[in-house]
Amino acid sequence: MKNCEQHISPQVVKRLPRYYRYLEDMLEAGLVRTSSKELSAKSGLTASQIRQDLNCFGGFGQQGYGYNVEQLYNEIGRILALDNKNKTILIGAGNLGRAVALHMDFDRKGFKLIGIFDKNEAVSGQLVGHIPIRHISGLDDFCLENKPTIAVLCVPKDNAKELSANLYNLGVKGFWNFTHYDIANKYSDIAVENVHLSDSLMTLCYKINRLDEVET
Amino acid sequence: MKNCEQHISPQVVKRLPRYYRYLEDMLEAGLVRTSSKELSAKSGLTASQIRQDLNCFGGFGQQGYGYNVEQLYNEIGRILALDNKNKTILIGAGNLGRAVALHMDFDRKGFKLIGIFDKNEAVSGQLVGHIPIRHISGLDDFCLENKPTIAVLCVPKDNAKELSANLYNLGVKGFWNFTHYDIANKYSDIAVENVHLSDSLMTLCYKINRLDEVET
DNA sequence: TAGATTGTTAATCGATTAACAATC
DNA sequence: TAGATTGTTAATCGATTAACAATC
């Protein structure tokens, strides 16, 4: 491991899960060895960039040989800290919240989903996977007792502000934010990943439109 | 409108929906006028960057005054082409697919959802919102008849490759891709927006971990 | 040894920030 | 007019690409 692991550019960090995905494919396909050239062909990124990226964390490769698939896979998993068990709660058990709770393999990505909350009394007690939905009124007590550090926000925009402030005060350090509200720039000592689905959809609309223009 | 609308950097494009969101808030709050300074405070971006971004598309502001909220909102909507009605189909009516179909307001973002498909015969005919799920076997005929240009992919990874190839041949020009498979670098004449939820979750794991390290 | 491919430095490119004249 | 804030150019910063010596 190199000492330059100190500060890594956000751009590099965002590419790590991608590498991880490609390596998982290769691992499943039984490949033992790969190279920046091969990863480049798979990803569309330049070989140069891939080598540069991987080298931020240390020399995982070998001149003349390339990279060992399994070793590189494990190293990236370690860098991403996927063996963590960050205690996680999810707020908002609507369609999206349920889909996220069921669809994501939290355990294999460094998280442990320990509670689901919703403000709708009618759904309290229902199971999502093997986790019961609790009423939002029990949130504070639950947090004081179980000390989750991560919250997944799948609530409507209007709730997001007070809710995130409350969760912050209850010790939540990381937010996976599906709401339209931007938490990030309020607090400096937390980690936020925004998933702005409608931003993404609007971006697609823009792109499609420009595609048409280029053709004509 | 300025002539520099020709080519806009992807970074700028990604920020447009964000501006649009802030402006919508302001509009709802009844604000008439804003400035790059105010938008900066709201977003955490620099005022300079905001002015730079908006200026790619023309001078929407006025020296000494700032921007008219409604005008700027409309302009950005126009730039994003949100009044389009791109005919859209969604493939994969599992939890995620249903959530996306129900949760997203396609109509207000430049799209018109006209069909939902799933390979599971058992769910054929079920309604998601007001749209019935069709069996995947009818996909080709449906496309030939209705000519959708956009596909939302909510299928497992293993289906994604053949499916996207098939859709491409059927004339689909834009993909909103929720699968783990990367379509983008296969074809050059299409638009793709990838929503890699698990990449995002892994990135959060990395960030949380580094947060801990900085504290100690 | 010859061939391959890394690790790493230097060059290029693009995006952000700062500064300020123009002007409402 | 004086104050404010844009539009725009120039300076800085960061990220990507190219090149190549090191070495397996």
pLDDT value, residue A215: 52
Residue B104, chain A, CB below 8 Å: the answer is yes
CB-closest option in B86, B185, B208 to A205: B86
Domain hosting residue A112, numbered range = 86-199
CATH number of the domain bearing residue B161: 3.40.50.720
Q: Is residue B212 part of a domain?
A: no
- Give the mean model confidence (pLDDT) for residues B184-209: 92
Structural domain contains residue A216: no
If asked whether residues A140 and A97 sit together in one domain, one would say: yes
Element (H, E) at A116: strand A111-118
Q: How many distinct structural domains can be found in chain B?
A: 2
d(CA B183, CA A62): 30
pLDDT reported for residue A214? 59
- The pLDDT-based confidence of B2 (bands split at 50, 70, 90) is very low
Q: Do A43 and B109 touch (CB under 8 A)?
A: no
Q: Is residue B211 part of a domain?
A: no
In terms of domains, do B42 and B7 share one? Answer: yes
pLDDT band at A216 (very low <50, low <70, confident <90, very high): very low
| A4 has pLDDT over 80 | no
Q: Which of B17, B199, B200 sits opposite A202 (nearest CB)?
A: B17
- Asked if residue A213 belongs to a domain, the reply is no
Which of B47, B79, B111 is the last residue in one of the domains? B79
Domain of B75: which CATH number? Answer: 1.10.10.10
Q: pLDDT tens digit string along A155-201?
A: 998 889 999 999 999 999 999 999 999 887 778 899 999 999 999 99
Q: In a 3-state reduction of DSSP, which class is residue A86?
A: strand
Q: Are residues B70 and B100 in the same domain?
A: no
pLDDT in tens, B139-163: 999 999 999 999 999 999 888 999 9
Cβ contact, residue pair A17, B196, below 8 Å: yes
